[in-house]
Structure 1
Amino acid sequence: MTNIRIVVVEDESATARSLIQILNETDEHITVVKTLGDVSGAVTWFNDHPGFYDLIFMDIRLADGLSFDIFKQTTISRPVIFVTAFNDYAITAFKNNGIDYILKPFDPDEIKSALDKYKNLTGAVEKPGGPVLAELLAQLGNLTRSYKKSFLVHYRDKLIPLETSKIAWFYTANEVVHLRTSDDKQYVVESTMEQLEQQLDPTLFLRVSRQFILNRNAVTEAEFYFNGRLLVKVKPQPNEHIIVSKARSAEFKKWMNS
């Protein structure tokens, strides 16, 4: 059997290692030739290695933007299996276009199924990444512009619709996610931080740490902190400091400056 050369585009190193381990355990004829963690690095590598890979496993949200930006800056002529947490509507788009998806956390059976689909696809189509991928990206580009406009929150014995634009920040503690509104009201949200990252408009909201997702309109200032980190001030101010790590500070500054 022909060896399958795979590129993994994933900004979380632990997630990338988990995926690679499952790939190697699933098929002995797989070689992961490169792991990439951001849009800019991926564009450079794909430009320099146009024929060095057969298949790509690609996360949608990367450290410096959406992976769709990669396709605007370089030519990808091989199939892509997206790693996603999109809702069922987006998942249907993947299925209809014949390129598979994998939801986090990874299921080895789903990875095997995706690889089987790739093998069937490459047996029938000379350049499977071409028109199919272009159509998929066009659909998903529209989907990425559809975000939650409101949240239904509990307050005593009532359900209250709350406009997303009025949320100053989200905070997680003890596996419970809270939100604080711009007028300083707090509610519990029945979502995980990972789900919120997919549901919120990335031009307006950014996950700046494991604990916080901020609305850019709530940010009042950022101070230089120890070891290249940033101390972010927001309104209303939470009870603990919001620290942006050195690794995330460039993304935060780009987000605030966009």
Structure 2
Amino acid sequence: MIPNLRIILIEDEAATARNLEFILKEINPDIEVITTLQSIAESVDYLSACNHDYDLIFSDIRLSDGLSFEIFRQTSIKKPVIFVTAYSDYALEAFRNNGIDYVLKPFDKEEIQRTLLKYNTIIAADIKLEQTKTSALLQQLQSATKNYKKSFLIHYCGRLIPVDSAKISWFYTANEIVYACTADGQKYTIEFTLEQLERELNPELFFRANRQFIVNRNAIDTIEYFFNGRLLIKIHPSPQEQVIVSKAKAMMFRKWLDQ
């Protein structure tokens, strides 16, 4: 059972913050997001003046004005922190800053529920944060720095062909079939869903653009502004369908490319 929590979000992507708050409310409608802070400066000001009347912080790591760890160096935070990020590089640093868990983007309801249950277990057992954060973050570090799928063994014309993940330009799903297209234009069918691929592929190299496409950053030629705040991605080889990033994901996509 997830308790009624008062939560602070530190996240500079408005769409991600809204999505996280929506998921938290789905898990328990009585969870209250007190505020969403978008920068180091804003967070330091708020947390320095705050009376600590909250239970938990969800924090992104890369903010517009630097790494969020600077917030915890400049303030006296005694509440636990769950770090939510697209990058696996910072797990040990998160451990040093009151972290009890490390969630990789893109996250889903099940992942957020799992991390809240971990928080609940720690609090219910009355275990001191200092005694638990080491093992919790080191376990998460092992998960965060997992070996991503390097190749696919694909059935093709009665043969098995190994194809390097990095050579696949995009994955596409239609009629419950998933296709992988390589940089030289060869298209294969593979026995994975896009959801499974999201978990198996390196998130620094691949991005889930929409419900139909996962794209390789090295396959992207140009990005064009589309109507209603969306983005149109031109990739090679060019698929038959347009690859459009939704308005909700546009900022996350641009941030993913600009690293």
Superposition TM-score, scaled by structure 1 size: 0.66
> 2: CA distance between counterparts of 1:151 and 1:65?
32
**Match for residue 189 of structure 1?**
190
* Structure 2: runs of 5+ lacking an equivalent: 86-98
Residues 70-94 of structure 1, C-alpha deviation per residue, up to 9 Å, x if partnerless?
653432643356789xxxxxxxxxx
Amino acid at match of 1:158: R
- CA 73–206 in structure 1, closer or farther in 2 if over 3 Å, else same: farther
Q: 1:105 to 1:174 in 2, by over 3 A?
A: farther
Q: Deviations over 1:113-144 (max 9, x none)?
A: 546413334x231xx1x464356445645643
Q: Which residue of 1 aligns with 2:202?
A: 201
Question: Which residue does 1:124 correspond to in 2?
Answer: 127
Contact 2:102–2:137 (CA under 8 A) maintained in structure 1 = no
Match of 2:254, SS state, is: helix
1:42 Cα deviation from its structure 2 partner? 7.1
Matched-pair contact (CA < 8 Å) for 1:150–1:163: yes
Separation (CA, whole Å) in 2 of partners of 1:12 and 1:218: 29
State which drifts further: 223-232 or 174-183.
223-232
Q: Does 1:234 align with 2:238?
A: no
Identify the residue that residue 93 of structure 1 maps to in structure 2: none
Superposition deviation, residue 251 in structure 1: 3.3
Q: Is the 8 A contact 1:149 1:164 kept in 2?
A: yes
Which residue does the alignment assign to 2:79? 78
Q: Is the 8 A contact 1:219 1:234 kept in 2?
A: yes
Counterpart in the other structure of 2:133: 133
Instruction: Compare 6-15 and 142-151 and name the one that shifted more.
Output: 6-15
Change in CA separation of 1:111 and 1:219 when aligned onto 2, cut-off 3 Å: closer
Distance in 1 (alpha carbons) for counterparts of 2:119 and 2:173: 36
- 1:41 and 2:32 matched: no
Name the aligned partner's letter for residue 221 of structure 1.
Answer: T
Cα distance in 1 for residues equivalent to 2:4 and 2:183:
55
* Amino acid paired to 2:213: F
Aligned to 2:110: 106
Cα 1:44–1:178 change in 2 (3 A) is farther
How many angstroms does 1:208 deviate by? Answer: 2.1
Secondary structure at the aligned position of 1:201 is classed as: coil
* Paired amino acid for 1:72: F
Alignment of 1:21-32 (within 5 A): 21-24=26-29, 31-32=31-32
2:230–2:250 Cα contact (<8 Å) kept: yes
Q: Could you tell me how far apart the structure 1 residues matched to 2:78 and 2:193 are?
A: 35
Compute the displacement of 1:148 (Å).
1.4
Distance 1:108 1:253 in 2: 24
Q: Secondary structure at the match of 1:17?
A: helix
Tell me, what secondary structure is at the counterpart of 2:202?
coil
Q: Go from structure 1 to structure 2 and tell me whether the alpha carbon gap of 1:42 and 1:19 turns closer, same or farther (over 3 Å shift).
A: farther
- C-alpha contact (below 8 Å) 1:170/1:213 kept by paired residues: yes
